Structure formats: structure tokens, C-alpha cells
Amino acid sequence: KGKDSWDSNIDLGYGLTQNGSDDPIKSEDKIDLSTKYGREAFKHWYYSALLGFKSQFTEGYNYPNDSVKISNFLAPAYFTLALGMDYKPNDNFTMLIAPVTGRIIVVNDDDLADAGSFGVDPAEYDDLGVKVKDGENIRYEFGALLKAVYKKDILENVNFQTKLELFCNYVEDPQNVDVNWEVLFNMKV
């Protein structure tokens, strides 16, 4: 409205797949919440701040081995606060360029934290294999975020949407970029 722009998204998904008499396995599991406020700087560009949260609902396993847990609710969880510029030329496309981004990774599962999953510091053990220090449950990162979203009605009953998120941690291994890219076709049949 006017010079202000506020976009909020809730993207929740959970699915199971079962082949024949096999046990059902998880095929999708995501919680993705974000809100972005912008104030117009000049044509199609907004000074913007984004607040985001990502996690999942249930435990994930290294299928077909369903005894090796690789994730859980809040393990990981990503909390993101990003400041930058948002380019919005129309209702179909938006691209946030945020060179000032803080991200907190939470691993609220002691087994995964002890293993050092998702970049947290792992547990420490003595020469006899006895744990002397628990793994960390939180990791702090500071870097840059690029988030682009494009959506388009292809046909009357077919919609295409893609979302790309790139995060670079300035402090540790800045040459490594975290990539999250989703492509979705919605069809009414």
C-alpha cells in the first residue's frame, strides 16, 4: 500500500509414500515461514527486512535405512534476519539481495548435536570413547542472502512457481554457498 510492501508466506508440507506392502516413508516434510517488510526506495526497489523460520514436523531417516536418524523437529531449525534491497518489478517476481544477514541454526536433538550435524560443534570424547563435552545445539552465522521468487500462470489451470535461496557465510568458508531451490507446478484436474 503506497510506499510500503509487506509479504508474508506460510509454506507447510507433509507427505508419505507407500509402495506395495512396504512401510510408508516420508516424501515431504517442511515448515517454511517468512515475512518481509519493504519501504520504497525508488522505482521497483525497496529497503527491506526479512524474518524467516524453517524446520520440519517429524524425524527424518537415511532411507532405506530407517534406523539412522538424520533430522527431527527443530533439528535443524533455521532462524534468519536479513536486511537489504528487494527488487519487485511486478506481482510475479521478487528478488531480495541482503548483504547483512544473521542466521541461527538450532539442532534440538542431542544425538544429532553430538554428531555435529548441520554445522554445530560435535561432542568431544576422551581416549576411551567417553563423552566429556556435549555437542553444541546452536550455531550462529553472519553472511549474505539472495532470495528470488517467480510465479506464473502457464495455462488456465496450471501454475508454475520457483523459489531460489542462496546464503553465503562471511565468517567461515565464504566460498561455500548454501542452496535451497524449489520448483512447483500446480495443476487443477
User: For residue range 72-103, what is the model confidence (pLDDT) as tens digits?
Assistant: 999 999 999 999 999 999 999 999 999 999 99
Quickly state the pLDDT bin for 22 (edges 50, 70, 90): confident
pLDDT higher than threshold 90 for residue 38:
yes
At residue 100, the pLDDT reads: 97
Instruction: Give me the mean pLDDT over the 50-59 stretch.
Output: 96
More confident residue, 23 or 107: 107
What does pTM read for this prediction?
Answer: 0.90
Instruction: Classify residue 72 by its DSSP letter.
Output: B
At residue 187, the pLDDT reads: 93
CA angle in degrees (0–180, nearest 5) for 153-82-137: 110
Task: Enter the C-alpha cell of residue 152.
Answer: 506464473
pLDDT higher than threshold 90 for residue 110:
yes
3-state secondary structure at position 109:
coil
pLDDT higher than threshold 90 for residue 63:
no
Instruction: Give me the mean pLDDT over the 3-19 stretch.
Output: 93
Mean pLDDT of the residues in the chain:
94
CB 111 within 8 Å of CB 68: no
